[in-house]
Structure 1
Amino acid sequence: MSTHEVTNQAPPLVDYDVYGADAALREGVARYAAPERLAEIDGELGELGRAAGSAEAQHWGELANTHEPVLRTHDRYGNRIDEVEFHPAWHSLMNRAVSAGLTGDAWTRPDGHLRRAAGFMVWSQAEYGHGCPVSMTHAAVPALRTDPALAEQWVPLLTSRSYDFGLRAPQGKRGVLAGMGMTEKQGGSDVRANTTRAEPLAADGEYTLTGHKWFCSAPMSDVFLVLAQAPGGLTCFVLPRVLPDGSRNTFRIQRLKDKLGNRSNASSEIEFDGSTWAQRLGPEGRGVATIIEMVAATRMDCVLGSTSLMRQALAQAAHHAAHRSAFGGPLVDKPLMRNVLADLALESEAATATALRLASAFDADTAPEREFRRLAVAVSKYWITKRCPVVAAEALECLGGNGYVEESGMPRLFRESPLNSVWEGSGNVNALDVLRVLAREPQVVEAFLAELRLAEGSDRHFDTALKELLTELADPAELETRARRVVERLALLLQASLLLRHAPAAVADAFCLSRLGGDRGSTFGTLPTGLALAAIVDRTRPAV
């Protein structure tokens, strides 16, 4: 029986250009791209942005999370196969990501890190879980390049734009995916406590592995970088799923993890049984040093992933507020809702500016830029991933009860939001990494401070906060206890410096006053009066 017409419901945010709707992202790409390549990069990102905002891609995301991966340990005859089965929607998402260069462009094209970072942020807004194997594959390249022979074998396949799923001999595939296995149950982030053993074989550089990995990313991948204890200490190894002769390496997937979010992606526990074959990557005892470039790249992707998620959460909230009326007019015009949306927009813009600045540092790859990013990646990974869950929660609330309903997509965003603060080192691990840099690498600290000082004199709140930071850094007393406070200050000053130099005055002024000046409450929507809130919100709202 019909009881009423459906009115005053926001239409779905669909069939729009994710890239074109994001002014901060477009401006950042224009800032760092070589002028002669900007039109090409804009065209590629616009095409990807329209695909990410399409009804088809959004449906793929829903299906991939509804129909979660399934572990098949044995075939019908009882043979051990250790395969992970995915819904076709997952493969569609992966195919588009790989064909868009999100696994390889950073290493093969001019402005590659910038292209890839912007593309990763755009395409991740269609679905977040498949970003894990995309990230792992991208990040394996710099580690493999420490060994020319292994790099020659694997890097062309890892950087291919062909998605070729399935366990087959790598030399017969058009492209491959990479995973990583570092974490063990007794050590967690303390990988030096790993107990997986590596026994040398007669052939130089070849070993067999025995042990258990508590978290193995993307277990359906073709090749893995793993850490194990060799006779000379903790060492990095390259472990293929399928051996050159076409037989399967011993790689026992014990179970898939039942996770809070990231449901479309398979994370697993795996066993090596003493016959698992691997090749050494780098010298024995230098495992952490060898794999550190992979960790730096995946930490960077934590920044990109959280920035992408915050942007999508903001876009959904602003879109809803623009189309929903309450108390006599559109929600977006209500002063209190506008305050909330503007506050969320400041967080999103600051994260976007930071992510693209980091990408530009990877592209430049000069000594000063390497020193800058050494500290900036750890600082940004800590802070931006911490802000993501609170942004997602507040954006969900902007939709009211509709946001709490699974069909809105907001619950999936919210469940995804804590992941990157855990992945590749929790907040404490990253904060301690920052402390090590502060204590041991003065040239890195100076490169970071030089970036901050580019905005000196632009805002009194910024100048005061910078002086306070320098005072705090000069005091070594109980520095570990204060580590999170110090890292937060470093992150906020980096974001403020970037916004003061590159963002509209309305954005930069509001950010500095609220984040550095202390004129803000403890929740979103507590920006002080007198700021250009309408201009901030209008700049971020998708025109759909």
Structure 2
Amino acid sequence: MNTTHEVFNQPEPLVDVNLFDGNRPMQDALKFNAPALVTTHLSALGQQVGSAEMQQHARLANVFTPQLKSHSRFGHRIDQVEFHPSYHALMTAATASGLHGTPFSDAEQASGTAHVNRAAAFMLFTELEPSILCPISMTYAVTPALKDNPAIYADWAPQLTSRAYDPALKLWKDKPGVTMGMGMTEKQGGSDVRANTTQAVPDGSDAWGSRFKVTGHKWFFSAPMCDAFLILAQTPSGLSCLFLPRVLPDGTLNQLFIQRLKDKLGNKANASSEVEFVGATAWLVGEEGRGVPQILAMGTMTRLDCALGTSALMRHALSLALNHTTQRKAFGKALIEQPLMQNVLADLALESEAATALALRLARSFDRAAVDEHERVMQRLLTPVAKFWICKRGSYFAQEAMECLGGNGYVEEGGEGVMARIYREMPVNSIWEGAGNIMALDLLRALRKADAAAALAHELAPAKGMHPALDQLAASLPTRVELMATEIEARRLAQDVALAVQAALLAQTAPPAVFAAFCDSRLDRHWGHSFGSLGAGTDFAAIIARAQPR
């Protein structure tokens, strides 16, 4: 045997671990936001998504990426995307877990915790594979919007809220379950959807209401194999929201043509495309000319998923870093025993727990906004704040976690190759559904609503007197909110609101060591410009022990 090839001091991969049972920050956040929620099913999901079998599916879905088949071998236009079987295995598991339209079923709505429950499950699944959740997230956002066309909703709701997955391209009523996508942005406008040029010409009406013929394009049309889409197009009364199915009620394919699939930095298992409509048939959803408000309502829900998804990716990256440093030895002892590594890991753990706390707090507002005025205001305030701050921290977090693994984190293969996939995935949630400037400006719009300052003060009140730095920040925010900071200051205000709310939440859900270290570093400025600059008085051991995934 060639002894130079003996393998030692290489960590075992983080597989066959229950991602829920080992996630104490998530468990405590759930107890705070939904104390009556029974979490047995979340534990079962945590075991499933942490298994070696499911992790293999995630790897294969990213290695064997979607392929566009525009024509059949006989020359007929078919416009279909082929996926590896592992993609379908992941989609089957995600829909079975109720991550798409299921929270809008009558039974789930009656529970009062449908969105928090779904949020926790969505986060657990994101740790397994985030990119296939794009069509899942869009289905979640689109389902309630369809109520503005009661006839379509009546026909499609049973399949949208079911827990079945059927990838076949066929009539919706012949399928046990369906998914939906969205098509908003065009090449000349991007986030400025009012610049859209796609035209929709009236074409009579039928059982689904006002019908249109649509001609135009969409520059980012994610998950083109969904069963139907909500799109924006210019009708005679202005920019309107339309329902466009892949298969028409008579069983024929709609005039939707996939031009190409996007070659993206990350999000590889998901097919994002450019499409053209050439006289495609669509039906009006909501009031004609009111497409932008319709889209903003859906955007609120997908922005929640951006915050949830990035929080989960942070947790996964942290778990991989902890798994590696616990096993890997250098300079005579395990990496996790090295003082400076402890500082880095504890700092990452603080960031991860604060992100989890804020994301699940936002999910709670979705459950209660319709019946509680404070929750309605907090939903409006925290959606852009959480989306901005958590997603903005994601890429920086992933880079630092990758560095904990050294070169092993930079390679694409093997168990630790997941870290490279996380790093490439991080930017998408920050960009999708509105980049940082869009979110900061959306916060300013939210602050112009009545009682925003009072609602924020009420949210922070439970932590009053628990840390002087938090008290100082909390006291300053109402004045800044009432004065409504100018656009040039909007990002700083979003950051400070996020940090204050995160600190107040940690005061109520986390151990004293976590809360104190978070406030000392993020609020009291005893913190540098990189992770790993916590003060020497930090209880590193307690923070790291709480974050361990096993």
- TMscore range, shorter length: over 0.9
Q: Deviations over 1:329-367 (max 9, x none)?
A: 111111110100000000100011111111111112323
Letter in 1 for 2:409: G
1:72 matches 2:69: yes
Give 1:10's aligned residue. Answer: 11
Alignment of 1:34-183 (within 5 A): 34-35=35-36, 37-38=37-38, 42-108=39-105, 109=108, 110=111, 111-183=113-185
Once the two structures are TM-superposed, the CA of residue 4 in structure 1 deviates from its matched residue by 4.0
Q: Provide the rounded CA distance (Å) in 2 between the counterparts of 1:437 and 1:391.
A: 28
Q: Provide the rounded CA distance (Å) in 2 between the counterparts of 1:442 and 1:422.
A: 29
Once the two structures are TM-superposed, the CA of residue 290 in structure 1 deviates from its matched residue by 1.8
Q: Provide the rounded CA distance (Å) in 2 between the counterparts of 1:5 and 1:92.
A: 36
> Contact 2:377/2:452 (CA < 8 Å) preserved in 1?
yes
> Contact 1:346/1:511 (CA < 8 Å) preserved in 2?
yes
Q: TM-score, normalised to structure 2's length?
A: 0.95
Q: Provide the rounded CA distance (Å) in 2 between the counterparts of 1:63 and 1:446.
A: 50
1:27 matches 2:28: yes
> Contact 2:102/2:160 (CA < 8 Å) preserved in 1?
no
> In structure 2, which of residues 315, 325, 331 is the aligned counterpart of residue 327 of structure 1?
331
- Any idea what SS the aligned residue of 1:44 has? helix
Once the two structures are TM-superposed, the CA of residue 410 in structure 1 deviates from its matched residue by 1.0
Q: Deviations over 1:6-52 (max 9, x none)?
A: 111110000000111100111122223353x42xxx21111111111
- Any idea what SS the aligned residue of 2:466 has? coil
Provide the alpha-carbon RMSD of the alignment: 1.3
Once the two structures are TM-superposed, the CA of residue 308 in structure 1 deviates from its matched residue by 0.7
Letter in 2 for 1:160: S
- Any idea what SS the aligned residue of 1:213 has? strand
Once the two structures are TM-superposed, the CA of residue 474 in structure 1 deviates from its matched residue by 4.7
Once the two structures are TM-superposed, the CA of residue 258 in structure 1 deviates from its matched residue by 0.5
Give 2:471's aligned residue. Answer: 463
Letter in 1 for 2:197: T
- Any idea what SS the aligned residue of 2:128 has? coil
> Contact 2:453/2:482 (CA < 8 Å) preserved in 1?
no
Letter in 2 for 1:202: G
Q: Deviations over 1:265-316 (max 9, x none)?
A: 000111011x200000011111011222211110000001101100000000
1:536 matches 2:536: no
Q: Provide the rounded CA distance (Å) in 2 between the counterparts of 1:106 and 1:386.
A: 28
Q: Provide the rounded CA distance (Å) in 2 between the counterparts of 1:329 and 1:187.
A: 55
Q: Provide the rounded CA distance (Å) in 2 between the counterparts of 1:267 and 1:105.
A: 24
Letter in 2 for 1:411: A
Once the two structures are TM-superposed, the CA of residue 476 in structure 1 deviates from its matched residue by 5.3
Letter in 1 for 2:540: L
Letter in 2 for 1:457: G
Alignment of 1:356-371 (within 5 A): 356-365=360-369, 366=371, 367-371=373-377
Letter in 2 for 1:489: D
Give 1:267's aligned residue. Answer: 272
> In structure 1, which of residues 199, 206, 214 is the aligned counterpart of residue 219 of structure 2?
214
> In structure 1, which of residues 408, 415, 418 is the aligned counterpart of residue 424 of structure 2?
415
Give 2:408's aligned residue. Answer: 402
Give 2:510's aligned residue. Answer: 503
> Contact 1:98/1:161 (CA < 8 Å) preserved in 2?
yes
| 499-508 or 516-525, larger mean C-alpha shift | 499-508
Q: Say how many residue pairs are matched.
A: 536
Q: Deviations over 1:389-422 (max 9, x none)?
A: 0110000000011111112211111000111000
Q: Deviations over 1:212-235 (max 9, x none)?
A: 100011101001000011111110
Give 1:316's aligned residue. Answer: 320
Once the two structures are TM-superposed, the CA of residue 442 in structure 1 deviates from its matched residue by 2.3
Give 1:520's aligned residue. Answer: 527
> Contact 1:186/1:193 (CA < 8 Å) preserved in 2?
yes
Once the two structures are TM-superposed, the CA of residue 470 in structure 1 deviates from its matched residue by 3.4
Gapped regions of structure 1 (runs ≥ 5): none
Letter in 2 for 1:244: P
Alignment of 1:483-498 (within 5 A): 483-498=490-505
Once the two structures are TM-superposed, the CA of residue 457 in structure 1 deviates from its matched residue by 1.6
Once the two structures are TM-superposed, the CA of residue 167 in structure 1 deviates from its matched residue by 0.8
Gapped regions of structure 2 (runs ≥ 5): none
Give 1:234's aligned residue. Answer: 239
Letter in 2 for 1:133: P
